[in-house]
Homo-oligomer: A and B are copies of this chain.
Amino acid sequence: MKQPTILDVAARAGVSKSLVSLVMTDPSRVGEANRKAVLEAAKDLGYRPNAVARSLVQRRTGVIGIVLSDLHNPFFADVADGIEAAASERGYRAMLSSGFLDPKRERSAITTMLELRVDGLIIMGSMMKVGRIEGVATALPVTLVGRHTRSKRLDSVCTDDAAGAREAVAHLAELGHTRIAHIHAGSAAGSPRRRRGYEKEMIKRGLVDRIRVFRGDFTESGGAKAMIEILNSGDMPTAVFAPNDAAALGAMEVIDDAGLDIPGDISLIGYDDLTLSGLPRISLTTVGQPRTDLGREAAQLVLERLDEGREDARHVVVPPSLVIRSTTGPPPGDADAQPSEDPQ
């Protein structure tokens, strides 16, 4: 099991370790004969450069760490794709770790990344306070995905959650809804803004006293639980705005199980536009975010600091877009149904 080192290769090829190192990094700078000898020796021995030793002397690992809150949320998978693509174009590789929706485990995932000395860190859907994350940003470039901040110490990229939420509520209001409830995900990344957007739009439309907010989270089961509460609240809304698609799916399940019709009895709207949500069976109205672009942008921000020496914080906000499908419609008993916004 003992792995061969550069010295073993050097000995076998009859050259110095420095020459082997040269061949491994830039073969063109080495004479024909020696190059061949080294490559052959390396192959014979099954030599693989030890990135640990290399990182130690170079004081860089070439790895961008990604910490995400939930491996199950396909939203992150797309963002991660974007990050990986951008990173590998620039000679970095991405390594991923999950926070399992638990601030403590997220913290420990981040610590691990720091100890491994990743060159940059991208944190998505964080459950932690921005303040704590800022502390980390003194050691390496950090980009937050999906969370708004004006921090001077780290970068961020997200969609305008408040605007997305307002669009969602506006869409419902224009369909004639007034009793619009919102499920929120506490202080998890993005959630506070979406909630505020919901509230603002409700206020703007004169629906202040119709504001109903229920606590859930960004998962299917969180959405389901909140929906059960809504159904039991004795104050049934005609529309529900979920904090994301995963939660919306959970809510949908509860509504279906209760024998209610979507959107006949209750309209439902999510956030994220997962591929899944576009399935005909689901056809969830939702607020879309350009996921892969979000990821590319996040990687770009890290790389700018790493390779171009940028020092000042940048915060990128991209606009969300409402995707109207078939889980939203006029409220029940609405005489003037079929307005132009009605899907299908």
- Stretch of A30-38, A177-185, A251-259, A329-337 with 4 or more beta carbons under 8 angstroms from chain B: A251-259
Q: How far is the CB of A310 from chain B (nearest CB, A)?
A: 13
Q: Can you pick out 14 interface pairs between chain A and chain B where the beta carbons lie within 8 Å of each other? A: A48-B114, A51-B115, A51-B116, A56-B56, A71-B80, A94-B97, A249-B276, A252-B281, A253-B281, A256-B281, A257-B280, A276-B276, A281-B282, A282-B282
Q: How far is the CB of A105 from chain B (nearest CB, A)?
A: 9
Given A94-B97, A95-B96, A280-B253: A115 in contact with B74 (beta carbons within 8 A)? no
Q: Number of A interface residues, CB 8 Å?
A: 49
Given A3-B139, A282-B281: A115 in contact with B48 (beta carbons within 8 A)? yes
Q: Does A100 contact B (CB under 8 A)?
A: yes
A 261-294 binary contact with B (CB < 8 Å = 1; else 0) = 0000000000000011001111000000000000
B139 touches A48 (CB 8 A): yes
Q: How far is the CB of A153 from chain B (nearest CB, A)?
A: 12
Q: Does A46 contact B (CB under 8 A)?
A: yes
Contacts of A140 in B (CB 8 A): 1
A 94-130 binary contact with B (CB < 8 Å = 1; else 0) = 1111101000000000011011110000000000000
Q: How far is the CB of A199 from chain B (nearest CB, A)?
A: 30
A 183-210 binary contact with B (CB < 8 Å = 1; else 0) = 0000000000000000000000000000
A98 touches B84 (CB 8 A): yes
B71 touches A81 (CB 8 A): yes
| Those 5 A-B pairs whose CB atoms lie nearest each other, nearest first | A51-B115, A71-B77, A96-B96, A256-B280, A72-B77
Contacts of A257 in B (CB 8 A): 280
B84 touches A100 (CB 8 A): yes
Contacts of A256 in B (CB 8 A): 280-281
